[in-house]
Amino acid sequence: MTAELIKGTEISKEIRAELEVRIRDLKEKHGITPGLATILVGEDPASQVYVGSKRKTCDQLGITSFHTGFPADVSRDLLLKKIDELNHDDAVHGILVQLPLPKHLSETEVLYAIDPDKDVDGFHPVNVGRLVAGDAVFLPCTPHGVQQLLVRKGIKTEGAHVVVVGRSNIVGKPVANILLQKAKGANATVTVCHTGTRDLASFTRQADILIVAAGRPKAITADMVKEGVVVVDVGVNRIGMTKDGKAILSGDVDFEGVKEKASFITPVPGGVGPMTITMLMMNTVRAAEMRIAK
């Protein structure tokens, strides 16, 4: 058996086409143009690339992009003042502060300062609580992208045993909560594994669906999965450079070995990655649609 690829690049395009229709309706029927504000502190190259990709996607979809850049030594008060301004700006429907932040700033304090109704990353404790309670407004982008890959590929989660490797607040915990809900595209039995799990392979071999966000290249090998498993690899690790200076990437799964046993598997790159920004756009459109009801 050689696994069928779950291509996030293709599914992302499908979702973006749907978003274009919703954005057009917002503009034509309600006079609302969705707006996303991004804040970048410092000049970290990777963060600059991420923010640039988000702004480019906004332009492609017809979402207004607002951007503020601060030097790495920006004061806490100035940053919080800017977030407060955006909270009260009716043209801004979503606010995203690019992480990581410099050490003198508290990520928790900064993220908690964002209006929960504009928290399109889904990190505010109000939105985390809504997710756990089964009444989510905004789902965190990468975990929601994982769910959409499964749903749109026709992979049934209902009654399936999903094993999640990783317990971060960004991926592991929220994806477990999403798939645990009594809802369409969820309703799974979920096991969460982590660095403290004894005999990890004994759990991963039980998985009907294995979601790996461990942050370690090729941590999951072929002997750790059963035949026919569905594998979603969230990891992106730089393991070397090509002769022409391009990064060689690896997921958290040994792709070459595991694909011979899996029924479906996400590639790295081109799997989960393209979904994250797309789900951010979906949350921004959702935030704009919520404005109509107010």
Active site residues: 54, 98, 121
For the chain, where are the E strands, in sequence order? 4-5, 35-41, 64-70, 94-97, 161-165, 189-193, 209-212, 230-233, 237-241, 247-250, 264-265
Exposed (0-12), middle (13-18) or buried (19+): which is 108, by Cβ within 10 Å? exposed
Residue 232 to residue 252: CA distance in whole angstroms: 10
CA 182, 281, 142, 75 dihedral sign is negative
Residue 17 CB partners (closer than 8 Å, separation 6+): none
Name 250's bridge partners: 237
Residue 210 to residue 264: CA distance in whole angstroms: 10
Residue 63 to residue 175: CA distance in whole angstroms: 27
Residue 222 CB partners (closer than 8 Å, separation 6+): 254, 257, 258, 260, 261
